[in-house]
Amino acid sequence: MRVAMIGTGYVGLVSGACFADFGHVVTCIDKDASKIERLKKGEIPIFEPGLEGLVERNVREGRLFFATEGAEAVKTADAVFIAVGTPSRRGDGHADLTYVYAAAEEIAGQIDGFTVVVTKSTVPVGTGDEIEAILKRVRPDGDFAVVSNPEFLREGAAINDFKRPDRVVIGTDDERAQRVMAELYRPLNLNESPLLFTGRRTSELIKYAANAFLAMKITFINEMADLCETLGADVQQVARGIGLDNRIGSKFLHAGPGYGGSCFPKDTLALVRTASDAGSPIRLVETTVQVNAARKKAMAGKVADAMAGQVKGKRIGILGLTFKPNTDDMRDAPSLDIVPALIEMGAQVQAFDPEGHEARQMLPGVDFKDGPYEVADGADALVIITEWDQFRALDLDRVKRLMRTPLVVDLRNIYRPAEIESRGFQYRGIGRG
Ligand code: UDX
């Protein structure tokens, strides 16, 4: 099959490369000429494990192409995917659909023969109807079907998530479009990933509902962690104890400093707005949004508590700045709340993140170091904000020798309290009362 992918951001690039790897012929289109130039040279603008090799192989084998202009690829495509950004609109939290609608206008002028137009971007319920209206207006003669096909990729594990999904959701009632979509995803039959065919609005809502539920699940365990601290219980054992119940499931029950990233904060907010505009508010999600924002702000206070309030003039080492490991993404990362608050309290902050290079612009006043031991050097407290693998097995004796005061505040619970304390550290985790 022939695919045109509009937008070479995270979703577009991963999806395009994976479809090519399935054997389809894919052209990824982006207006950003310098990005396309770099991609043609094999330079990948984002950090995603395995993506560079995947792109390189499929370009070499003649299935993956990059272009700044889509007319030719769209004209010959069986399916055109819209995978452009839908940022939170400034001020009201609604998803900004400017790029999606612009892409629809452009595609409309280019399609030729029966074409399936698919939204991969996360879009509010009803956006598919609007795209259909645009296509009909620009091309009353056009033969097309508009489909919703949300992505559920996690950064850092996106290729595996694409190739071994728990499910693929395809929202359309059009039978011809269903056949094209089934053919595109046919390679997944091998690992028996279910294709779930739904109505278009339902599919659009599934994406938001999934993200909101996961954000709520994390927020639930985060609040349990606070309760554990007060009551003298251990949140990790609570998580295991409830997670073994199949109805609950053990995933997404790691207590931490609050969720961040490109999806959960934006999508929960957009769903809250959609629901309240529709006169059917979802209070659980509203509360999740508020609790998570407050949690990220409260984390600096937790560090200060562990330091018995003595922050002013002290040196604090930070390990990890990205919103989670295996990504360079800094969007809505808890570090963006925690670090400035510590500086505000008068701390000198030194930090290291393996990939979060953007932090240098986003966190002024921080002394950036080249590794975890440089960060421990002279520190009065070491704070783990992101659980990169390389922080999980630090040489603790070396860390202790380097630090001025051997205090570790572990906001991801990657160390065992008894073990690290036996090495002479004062240790504070999350929810281990
Ligand atoms: C998420 C969804 O998982 C994915 O399906 C969707 O398409 C996009 O949003 P992503 O943002 O890449 O993916 O990361 P994810 O691994 O889901 O983590 C999101 C945030 O939740 C991170 O800040 C992470 O640290 C936090 N988290 C996750 C927890 O605090 N505890 C957990 O148990 C799991």
**C-alpha to C-alpha distance for 308 and 48, rounded to whole angstroms:** 39
**C-alpha to C-alpha distance for 127 and 120, rounded to whole angstroms:** 12
Could you identify the atom of ligand 1 that is nearest to the CA of residue 222?
30
3-state secondary structure of 195: strand
**C-alpha to C-alpha distance for 380 and 313, rounded to whole angstroms:** 10
**C-alpha to C-alpha distance for 380 and 408, rounded to whole angstroms:** 9
213 Cβ closer than 6 Å to some ligand 1 atom: no
Q: Which residues face 428 on adjacent strands?
A: 409
257 Cβ closer than 6 Å to some ligand 1 atom: no
Cα of 10 to ligand 1 centre, how many Å?
A: 15
What pLDDT is stored for residue 338 in this prediction? Answer: 98
Could you identify the atom of ligand 1 that is nearest to the CA of residue 257?
30
Q: Which one, of 347, 254, 342, 264, lies nearest residue 297 by Cα?
A: 342
Cα of 153 to ligand 1 centre, how many Å?
A: 10
The backbone torsions φ and ψ at residue 104, rounded to the nearest 5 degrees and listed phi first, read -60, -45
3-state secondary structure of 58: helix
**DSSP state, 234?**
B
Cα of 154 to ligand 1 centre, how many Å?
A: 7
- CA distances (Å), 398 to each of 401, 402, 403, 423, in order? 5, 6, 9, 11
Active-site residue list = 263
Smallest CA separation from ligand 1 atom 22, residue: 259
Which stretches of 143-263 are DSSP H helices? 158-163, 175-184, 200-231, 235-243
167 Cβ closer than 6 Å to some ligand 1 atom: no
Could you identify the atom of ligand 1 that is nearest to the CA of residue 258?
30
Cβ neighbours of 194 (radius 10 Å): 11
Q: Which residues face 348 on adjacent strands?
A: 315
**C-alpha to C-alpha distance for 368 and 402, rounded to whole angstroms:** 17
What pLDDT is stored for residue 137 in this prediction? Answer: 97
Q: Which residues face 119 on adjacent strands?
A: 82, 148
Cα of 9 to ligand 1 centre, how many Å?
A: 18
Return the amino acid letter for 163: K
With 0-12 / 13-18 / 19 or more C-beta atoms within 10 angstroms meaning exposed / middle / buried, residue 308 is exposed
What pLDDT is stored for residue 296 in this prediction? Answer: 97
* Exposure on the CB side of residue 201, measured as CA atoms within 13 A: 5
372 Cβ closer than 6 Å to some ligand 1 atom: no
- Those residues of the chain that have pLDDT short of 50 are none
For residue range 367-396, list pLDDT tens digits in order: 999 999 999 999 999 999 999 999 999 999
* Residue 65: alpha-carbon gap to chain centroid: 25
152 Cβ closer than 6 Å to some ligand 1 atom: yes
Cα of 304 to ligand 1 centre, how many Å?
A: 27
**C-alpha to C-alpha distance for 44 and 50, rounded to whole angstroms:** 11
Smallest CA separation from ligand 1 atom 25, residue: 324
Cβ neighbours of 68 (radius 10 Å): 13
Residues 6 or more apart whose CB falls under 8 angstroms from that of 283 comprise none
Pocket test for ligand 1, best of 48, 252, 289 (most atoms within 8 A of CB): 252
Could you identify the atom of ligand 1 that is nearest to the CA of residue 151?
7
**C-alpha to C-alpha distance for 207 and 267, rounded to whole angstroms:** 9
Give, for 407, the enclosing helix (H) or strand (E): strand 407-410
Cα of 74 to ligand 1 centre, how many Å?
A: 33
Cβ neighbours of 32 (radius 10 Å): 14
Domains and CATH numbers, the chain: 2-198 (3.40.50.720), 199-433 (3.40.50.720)
3-state helix, strand, coil split of the chain in percent (to 5) is 45, 15, 40
